[in-house]
Amino acid sequence: MPQLDTSTWFIMIFSMFLTLFILFQLKISNHHYPENPMTKSTKITSQHNPWENKWTKIYSPLSLPPQ
């Protein structure tokens, strides 16, 4: 039974990684990123609700006086 020749594996794996690295670098370098992205306004807008200014109390039906 013949032995498996593994002497070229390092060269093949190394060249594969090098090729993939170069291809990804070329793909990334062709991508155009926005030069000056617009910043979002962090101003908080609050809406006025009529129930915010007054206290409300909710009574349980069992705590009400009998009628």
Q: pLDDT band for 17, please (50, 70, 90 cuts).
A: very high
Which two three-digit tokens encode residue 60? 């349980």
Measured CA to CA, the distance from residue 50 to residue 15 in angstroms comes to 70
Considering only residues 9 and 34, tell me which one the structure prediction assigns the higher pLDDT: 9
Measured CA to CA, the distance from residue 29 to residue 22 in angstroms comes to 10
Amino acid found at 49: N
Tell whether the model's pLDDT for residue 62 goes beyond 80. no
Whole-number mean pLDDT of the chain? 78
Alpha helix stretches (DSSP H) within 1-67: 9-29
In this predicted structure, what is the pLDDT of residue 27? 93
Measured CA to CA, the distance from residue 33 to residue 60 in angstroms comes to 60
Tell whether the model's pLDDT for residue 29 goes beyond 80. yes
In this predicted structure, what is the pLDDT of residue 18? 97
